[in-house]
Structure 1
Amino acid sequence: MKPVKTLAAALLASVAFATTAMACEITLRSSDTHPDGYPTVEAVKYMGKLVEERTDGRICVEVFHSAQLGEEKDTIEQTKFGVIDLNRVSMGPFNNLVEETKVVSLPYIFKSVEHMHHVMDGPIGDEILAAFEPHGYVGLAFYDGGSRSFYNKVKPIKSIDDLKGMKVRVMQSDIFVDMMSALGANATPMPYGEVYSAIQTGVIDGAENNWPSFESSGHYEVAGYYTLDEHLIVPEVLVMSKISWDKLSPEDQATVRQAARESVPEMRKMWVAREKASEDKVLAAGVEVITQIDKEPFMAAMDSVYEKHVTSDKLKDLVARIRATD
């Protein structure tokens, strides 16, 4: 199936180029697994608008949403080799490649969304963005990924014991797999696009994600229980292929980088509104939302995850600096 998907993606991309190449000297292809209208998709569109305006139409950004160019794992590879120019990706799939991304993917590393903003908008965020470059990517900006919580079709999760033996989809990340094991569940890594049918058919019992993803994917239609344990507050990252980046002049590079940074506050405004709209839609559909939950046992269970993944002095220092940030 994979070669067919790759061919279809290539054909789709070539059609888009035919319509945009006439107007723009450079067209940057940007990938996102989320649907059109999703805050990350709209943020990259906003960035593209700024770039087009500031280069007098020489550089355009074409956003391919809804996994049109493939699921995240595949698009990460394509971005490295310059087949895709820009990519909005969850941090998890980068964990085994860019060591620093492990730390911001750890459960309960951030005290709140506001704390995450303070960290990622400062020197620590810049340091993590720079860590992508040796691997063939240029880190441009961090977007919000909300607070991730558990949902399933079997029963309400009110305590850590309710997770025992449950088959839960996670991103293809060792940290996420180990997190689920520490909680007593059976982690099932799989692409985001396969989750709906997997829950529906009983291949898995549930998954974990934020309000907008839970809603926009339609997962709330097949998973009637949502527990606000907020175990992860993981920023998402916008990267550019180093191959594509190096083709730009220093002036155009600065324009792209600045436009990406300016898209962040716009994304955050859209995110807050989208979270509320998604929550309202899920509640109206009759999903049982569990808000009263003791997080302490969940947090205590994460000691083994930190011990396994925070092994180098560099990562230990990064954890300490994040925790020391107000």
Structure 2
Amino acid sequence: MQQKLKHVLAAAGLAMLAGGAFGAPGAQAETTLSLVYPFPDFLVYTKSCKEFAEKVNAAGVVKIDVKPFNSIGMFEQAGEIRKGTVDMTCLPAAFYARGLPENEAISTSNSSPAEVRANGGMAIIDELHQKYMNMKYLGWVDTGVKFHVYFKDAPKFGDDGLPDLSDVKMRDNPIYGAFFRALNAETHQMPVTDVYSAIQKGVVNASAWTSIGVKGLKWDEFLRHRLDPDFYQTDIGIIMNLDTWNSLSETEQKALQAAVIEHEESSRKARMAEVVQEKADLEAAGMQVHVVPNADKYLEIALDSAYDRMTERLKSDDRPLDAVEKLRGLYIK
């Protein structure tokens, strides 16, 4: 796949050289795109985002200028992309689902990028980004990674077979906040960089996170119990300002889109391998695994709570509901 991408981008570069867009052969790309990212540099999702930028820069058709961490706060990045303050980001869809409620379809999906590209689901998401957010949705990367809830103390279960979260102080996040509230959890929203200290001080005693990264964040020093089954899926998208996208030449657009599609596939393969390894590492280090007795109902609440929130937000914004069931059918298999 890497070799295929090189051929695609090389062909795009030659076409632009033939057209005089880059001037003399061997000239560097003239178009520079700025990129920000939401998570600390040591996390795999940031490393993956930078890896994508490196691939694009190596091809030489366009250049990506990666800005330092926290150049723009994680929850402000979507708004700044929309305004054009910065060109691109690798951002979870849930972080701006208030502005584009249909993003819940990505967060709750159990499909792959290849599947939703083929069935038209991603085209609908892209169309919605362009219409309502002044953004181009280029693709969905680092997939194949689901979420678990991690606890300081062993979780309790009610007579209904669902987690009893009455004594749990849960770290919230836009991805799964509706799910936890549907389970009557006390939630506290905070950036990922604040969570270690919050657990240490007892502000929270539980948090959801992906199947990889808990060790890197060192949360496993305190959170020693994991709840199964896992739910949802990482929803990191590569998005860019629509005006910037439209300003690119056709060759630049094709080259950039080809790079995203290649990274969808390569990052998915890498992340899924890491899920297996981290699970083994956590369990070897003493992580206790607890299975929800009524697992089917648990996952049903996870999905329904997200789609209910999507519908409520669309109604509140006086937006059409026609995409809701359509996306559910395309992103859930």
- Render the CA deviation track for 1:115-140: whole Å, top value 9, x for unaligned: 34464332112221232123121111
- Render the CA deviation track for 1:16-62: whole Å, top value 9, x for unaligned: xxxxxx965333232223454755444444433443344xx352224
The separation in 1 between residues aligned to 2:106 and 2:93, in whole angstroms, is 8
State the partner residue of 2:101.
99
1:131 corresponds to 2:140 = no
The answer to whether the 8 Å contact 2:104/2:306 transfers is no
The answer to whether the 8 Å contact 2:116/2:331 transfers is no
Counterpart of 1:73 (choices 72, 75, 98) is: 75
State the partner residue of 1:205.
205
Counterpart of 1:140 (choices 135, 138, 146) is: 138
State the partner residue of 1:10.
none
Distance 1:243 1:41, change over 3 A: same
- Render the CA deviation track for 1:80-134: whole Å, top value 9, x for unaligned: 233322211112112111232123334xxx4x4xx34464332112221232123
- SS of the residue 2:56 aligns to: helix
In structure 2, the gaps of 5 or more residues are: 1-26, 313-320
Distance 1:157 1:35, change over 3 A: farther
1:14-53 equivalences under 5 Å are 25-36=30-41, 38-53=43-58
**AA aligned opposite 1:33:** P
The answer to whether the 8 Å contact 1:85/1:244 transfers is yes
State the partner residue of 2:298.
298
**AA aligned opposite 1:128:** I
Q: TM-score normalised to the size of structure 1?
A: 0.78
Which is higher, the Rg of structure 1 or of structure 2? 2
1:1-326 equivalences under 5 Å are 25-36=30-41, 38-54=43-59, 57=60, 59-64=62-67, 67-106=69-108, 110=109, 112=110, 115-117=111-113, 119-122=115-118, 123-134=120-131, 135-143=133-141, 144=143, 146-156=145-155, 159-172=161-174, 176-291=176-291, 293-301=293-301, 303=304, 306-310=307-311, 312-323=321-332, 325=333
- Render the CA deviation track for 1:172-203: whole Å, top value 9, x for unaligned: 35xx3321121121122222221111111111
- SS of the residue 1:73 aligns to: coil
The answer to whether the 8 Å contact 1:29/1:85 transfers is yes
In structure 1, the gaps of 5 or more residues are: 1-21
The separation in 1 between residues aligned to 2:326 and 2:28, in whole angstroms, is 48
**AA aligned opposite 1:310:** T
What RMSD in Å do the two structures reach over aligned CA positions? 2.8
Structure 1 vs Structure 2: percent identity of aligned residues? 19
The separation in 1 between residues aligned to 2:291 and 2:113, in whole angstroms, is 24
- SS of the residue 1:228 aligns to: strand
- Render the CA deviation track for 1:218-238: whole Å, top value 9, x for unaligned: 221221111122132243211
Q: After TM superposition, which residue ranges in structure 1, 4 or more long, deviate above 6 angstroms?
A: none
The answer to whether the 8 Å contact 2:113/2:264 transfers is no
State the partner residue of 2:8.
none
The separation in 1 between residues aligned to 2:194 and 2:275, in whole angstroms, is 23
The answer to whether the 8 Å contact 1:145/1:235 transfers is no
- SS of the residue 2:213 aligns to: helix
The answer to whether the 8 Å contact 1:80/1:243 transfers is no
In the comparison of the two structures, how many residue pairs are matched? 292
Distance 1:199 1:133, change over 3 A: same
Distance 1:296 1:76, change over 3 A: same
